[in-house]
Amino acid sequence: MEKSRILFFLSLFFLLNGFNVHSQKKTELALDKEGIKVYLTKFDTTAFREYRAVMTVNANIDTVVKQLIDVKNLQQWNYKTRYSELIKKISDTSWIFYMRHRLGWPVQDRDHISRVTLIKKKNEQTILIQPENRLLKERSGCVRLTNFKGFWYLKRINAKQTLVMQQIYGDPSGDVPAFMVNMVVTKGPFDSFKALRKRVENLNKK
């Protein structure tokens, strides 16, 4: 039991500190608003930035996790998500998700297929997100995202409060300049977190 605990925390450490294959340059707090903090990390080897968003919600951890893996309803709160569906259930803790994002003219929609894996450990739960593009051919009118990786990390503060963290790096592909992506990279997580918080806190009142 003690050995598995050590392995879990080592894995989490590498997720938080050695998550991206790029050479890390600098991490800074880019937004601190309405109880939501968004940190951005610059890298030496890519112009795109990784973000880490953090907040505390007044909802229990299971309520939050249920919303994060409810693929049919992700568009209800996830920023710019136009459509989402379950492609395949691998197990009770692993799935393949398809998501399509509407970015608005003149930028084409983006889509991606992700392997989503839930890891539970006492008062903590982690959801890993990795590309899984072999199962679905590219769809017309979309640019397929292939270079991304991320995770959700949730920690039970008490029966009614949960720490929520998301860390994502993604290359939008196509001809979108990096400076345009980086200009709005805090808006996506902020809007998503705000909508997610409202959703889970309303559910927790029922």
Q: Is pLDDT above 80 for 3?
A: no
pLDDT tens digits, one per residue of 150-175: 999 999 999 999 999 999 987 676 56
Confidence of residue 23 (pLDDT cuts 50, 70, 90): low
Contact 43, 23 (CB under 8 A): yes
Q: Is pLDDT above 90 for 201?
A: yes
If we measure between CA atoms, which residue out of 150, 156, 197 comes closest to residue 62?
156
The residue to which tokens 């890298």 are assigned:
43
pTM score: 0.83
Q: How wide is the angle at C-alpha 50 spanned by C-alphas 104 and 139, nearest 5°?
A: 40
Q: Is pLDDT above 80 for 102?
A: yes
- The set of residues, in sequence order, having a beta carbon less than 8 Å from that of 165 and lying 6+ positions away, is 52, 53, 54, 152, 153, 154
Report the distance separating Cα 86 and Cα 96, nearest Å. 6
Task: Please state, in angstroms and as integers, the Cα–Cα distance from residue 127 to each residue in 4, 113, 152, 198, following that order.
Answer: 18, 15, 5, 20
Q: Is pLDDT above 50 for 13?
A: no
The larger pLDDT score, comparing residue 44 to residue 101, is at 101
Percent of the chain past pLDDT 70, that is, above it, reads 78
**Residue 12, token pair as written in the block:** 């989490």
Contact 64, 80 (CB under 8 A): no
pLDDT tens digits, one per residue of 71-87: 999 999 999 899 999 99
What residues does 110 pair with on adjacent strands?
101, 143
Predicted confidence at residue 20, as pLDDT, reads 47
pLDDT tens digits, one per residue of 108-142: 888 999 999 999 998 999 999 999 988 888 888 88
- Please state, rounded to an integer, the average pLDDT across all residues of the chain: 83
Contact 19, 167 (CB under 8 A): yes
Q: Spell out the domains of the chain, with CATH numbers in brackets.
A: 25-204 (3.30.530.20)
Predicted confidence at residue 14, as pLDDT, reads 38
The strand pair at 124-131 and 109-121 is best described as: antiparallel
Kind and range of the H or E run holding 147: none
